[in-house]
Amino acid sequence: MMIETNSSLKAFNTFSIDAKTKTLFHFKNMTQLSELLTVVKAVRSENRPVLILGAGSNILFCEDFSGLVIRVELTGVDIIASENSYLLQVAAGENWHQLVTHCIDNGIDGLENLALIPGVVGAAPIQNIGAYGSEFKDFCESVDYIDLQTGECLNLSAAQCLFAYRDSIFKSKTMENALITKVTLKLPRKWQANSRYALSKSAESGLEITAQTIYDAICQTRNDKLPDPEQYGNAGSFFKNPVVNQKKAAQLLKAYPKMPHYPQADGQVKLAAGWLIEQANLKGKTIGGAAVHQQQALVLINQNNASAADIFQLAEFVRITVKDKFKVSLEPEVRFIGCQGETNLTEVLNDVRA
């Protein structure tokens, strides 16, 4: 069914929060565009919000959604091979990890560091997903999208996407009407390894270092450390890794010489949010049905029928505890969605504390 009313969103968010939306549109192919635009116009004429949803792997629904949820379910992968590279044109609704696996299985290497990142392809440029030294921007050629306000089908080059750490132009106010339909990736045929962690894992096991062995090492690590959303609802990494100036990094390293830290090109230093949370003794901390995961402190889980309030109160507790101990502020990766659209996390948490 293409359009549903008063529909549950529990199956469409990895936290498994049982919120409902007044209208749900399953956007499966471009032939539906005219009807989709008509529905968007009607919803907005009633001053109700519109939310574009992929796999729901980076979302927390605070309450029922009063407007229209567009679930992007576009599929299709076209691969064009040339002498020096592969060009991948991938529909926004394709599962990201399945794309990575398909490439590795077919000798198209380069995406292995990004294995097992949850979500769909269309969400990858918004967040500029990344792991183990690689980011989406490293492979992006362009992004196609629909402007839901005008109905135009448009394209942005990688440079125009303004990619940054867990950020892109798609998070800006000017792009709030952008529904991503397709991404184009470029992978060089001449492969080079790019993962210090996975390289060391491969060396330890005595295996030849290939894209496949790196892929296998990363999948094993993620499976060992990260909870299965089918068992415990979660959104993967809840907080971004904070970036601090050199003076602050030096102060922390003096107190904690073994603290993981990663110098950046601009002179700042990235810290490991998971390490900070763990050092604050927060592994296993619970509020209501929400908990800090025992194996990976960067992940908050729906351990026992947690409410959205449980999860964001736990997030606030983690944020305050880390701030008090290290004087470092954690910023969430997760988007908090309320009945009037997207809600700023700080505002929500301040409301809860009040």
Half-sphere exposure of 252 (CA within 13 A, CB side): 25
Instruction: Name the catalytic one among 16, 57, 66, 237.
Output: 237
Q: List, in sequence order, the alpha helices (H) in 9-50.
A: 33-45
Task: Give me 91's structure tokens.
Answer: 């529909």
Helix (H) or strand (E) segment spanning residue 208: none
Task: For residues 274 and 351, give the distance between their C-alpha atoms in angstroms, rounded to a whole number.
Answer: 26
Nearest-angstrom CA–CA distance, 138 and 63: 36
- Of 189, 154, 174, nearest to 79 by C-alpha is 189
Of 214, 149, 221, the C-alpha closest to 178 is: 149
| Greatest CA separation for the chain | 63
Provide the CB-side half-sphere exposure for 89 (13 A, CA): 7
The single residue listed with the structure tokens 């996407």 is: 161
- Between strands 65-72 and 20-27, the pairing is parallel
Alpha-carbon gap, residue 113 to 194, rounded angstroms: 8
- 333 counts as catalytic: yes
- Identify whether 44 is a catalytic site residue: no
Distance CA 55, CA 93 (A): 8
Total Cβ atoms within 10 A of residue 354: 5
From the candidates 57, 222, 333, 335, give the one annotated as an active-site residue: 333
From the list 4, 166, 307, 331, the catalytic residue is 166
Q: Is position 166 annotated as part of the catalytic site?
A: yes
Residues annotated as part of the active site: 166, 237, 333
